[in-house]
Amino acid sequence: MPGRSVGAGVLLGIGVASFLDETVFHQILHWHHFYDRSTSDVGLVSDGFFHAGGWLAIVVGLFWFADLQRRRTTVPRRVWAGGLIGWGAFQVYDGLVQHKAMGLHQIRYGVDLLPYDLAWDLSGALGVVVGIALLFGPAHPIAERHGSS
Amino acid sequence: MPGMAPAGASAASWLPLVPIAVVAALYLAGVRRLLRRGDRWPVARTTAAVGGLAVLGAALVPPVASHPDVFAVHAVGHLLMAMAAPLLFALSAPLTLLLRTVPMPARRRVLAVVHSRAARLLTWAPVALLLEVGGMYAFYLTPLFGLAHEHAWVDLGVRTHMVLGGWLFSTVVAGRDPLPHRPRLPGTLLVLLLAGAAHGVLAKLMYAHGLPAVPGVELGAQVMFAGGDLVELAMAAAVMSAWYAREGRAQRRAEGRAVMRAAL
């Protein structure tokens, strides 16, 4: 079922983006701040939903993927398509809407932000484009590939 | 080990362990009764019950309970008491154990309570969510927090509400007990998302506005944010592992039917 593979991929992609954001940028590099005084209340609520949605997505995505594997109906190409779209869209939303429009926090403090913002948003956009490209082309479930039921 | 207790801790501070030990003994006695008559009871449920009660106990005695002035320690206690312990206890299916071990007349009375109008209302997912989240918002963002520190009865009431609210919520979302109406998977995930977002927003509001107005609230809020994530991750895994097992059973049934058809 290619559609389910895309769905599992999107959830995993969103989850990975959120996980990387939280661990790498918040906890390890300490570039992102827990809260900065520019944050609006709408920003707090949006952040709350995306943060909660991120880890929920990774759990649901992993179990969904496990179920596809058990049924041998996974289409790896479509999982990657969904994963890149989910990761890229989350990245762009985080970069444009949450960082900029809502002023949640910036990518890094005390530096010229433009190269960071461009790298952040363009990498996400590239992910979406590659993901969409992978939506096309042949879709082979793993059961077919191994020639078993 | 009273000799190792921090200053100010007395024998009385270990009293909460008594009712907890009683509940643990009752649970284990119930499991023993089932096993003796040859019924099965998953080890995971017994482990969850003992673990949940141990976590609750840890939150109610020193050192966690003996530092009411350090907000980060209070936050740890809150996470253990109102989130981690209730989730584990919900996974231990206490109601199922009760129904299977008490005599018939008592079972009828328990079932009458479970199916009563009040229980139906309380176990309706939006109500359970509101009770759990609302209690926390009211406690941390209003003068209720200060009142609980001045009056022991307010403190006891608030703690009881949080433990029961957390248990009710965990039971509705991830519990293994049968309920009159439990939301389907999309509804359950939506409730989890709302709860997770509400908890995250609460922790950031506390951090942003310095509420409750006590020293160390910033650290405590971050402890709550990260710890709340961990518990909700566990709750989501509990929900999805139950779904995975259900799907597996449905798949095996379908395969069994296909084999039967092929044989005919």
Asked if residue B78 lies in contact with residue B39, where contact means CB atoms within 8 angstroms, the answer is no
Mean pLDDT, range B63-87, rounded to an integer: 87
Rg of chain A (C-alpha set):
17
Residue of A nearest to B241 (CA): A63
Cβ A34–B193 below 8 Å, yes or no? no
| pLDDT tens digit sequence for B12-54 | 888 889 999 999 999 999 999 999 999 999 999 999 999 999 9
Asked if residue A33 lies in contact with residue A98, where contact means CB atoms within 8 angstroms, the answer is no
B221, B223, B227, B228 alpha-carbon torsion, rounded to 10°: 0
d(CA B125, CA B173): 8
d(CA B171, CA B86): 8
B180 found inside a domain: yes
Which of B240, B246, B253 would you mutate first to test chain A, the one with the most A CBs within 10 A?
B240
Mean pLDDT, range B76-104, rounded to an integer: 93
Q: Give the residue numbers spanning the domain of B156.
A: 68-87+102-263
B43 found inside a domain: no
Percent of chain B residues topping a pLDDT of 70 = 97
B35 found inside a domain: no
Residue A28, chain B, CB below 8 Å: the answer is no
B14 found inside a domain: no
Q: Which of A44, A55, A67 sits opposite B204 (nearest CB)?
A: A44
The CB-based long-range contact list for A131-137 (8 Å cut-off, 24+ gap) reads A131/A13, A131/A80, A131/A81, A131/A82, A131/A83, A131/A84, A131/A85, A131/A86, A131/A88, A132/A81, A132/A85, A133/A81, A134/A77, A134/A78, A134/A80, A134/A81, A134/A84, A135/A6, A135/A78, A135/A81, A137/A77
Handedness of CA A29, A30, A32, A34 (dihedral sign): positive
Cβ A35–B207 below 8 Å, yes or no? yes
Residue of B nearest to A38 (CA): B208
Which of B193, B201, B211 would you mutate first to test chain A, the one with the most A CBs within 10 A?
B201
Which of A11, A44, A71 would you mutate first to test chain B, the one with the most B CBs within 10 A?
A44
Cβ A48–B241 below 8 Å, yes or no? no
Residue B242, chain A, CB below 8 Å: the answer is no
pLDDT band, residue B261 (cuts 50/70/90): confident
Cβ B222–A34 below 8 Å, yes or no? yes
Overall number of domains in chain B: 1
B183 found inside a domain: yes
Which chain A residues are Cβ-neighbours of B251 within 8 angstroms? 70-71
B141 found inside a domain: yes
DSSP B162: H
| pLDDT tens digit sequence for B109-133 | 999 998 899 999 999 999 999 999 9
Of B62, B57, B86, nearest in space to B73 by CA = B62
B130, B136, B142, B148 alpha-carbon torsion, rounded to 10°: 130
Distances (CA, A) of B33 to B26, B40, B99, B227, B256: 11, 11, 12, 37, 35
| pLDDT tens digit sequence for B217-230 | 888 888 898 888 89
B15 found inside a domain: no
Which chain B residues are Cβ-neighbours of A60 within 8 angstroms? 189, 236, 240
In what helix (H) or strand (E) does residue A85 lie, and over which residues does it extend?
A: helix A76-93
B52 found inside a domain: no
The interface predicted TM-score (ipTM) is 0.84
Per-residue three-class SS string for B59-91: HHCCCHHHCCCCHHHHHHHHHHHHHHHHHHHHH
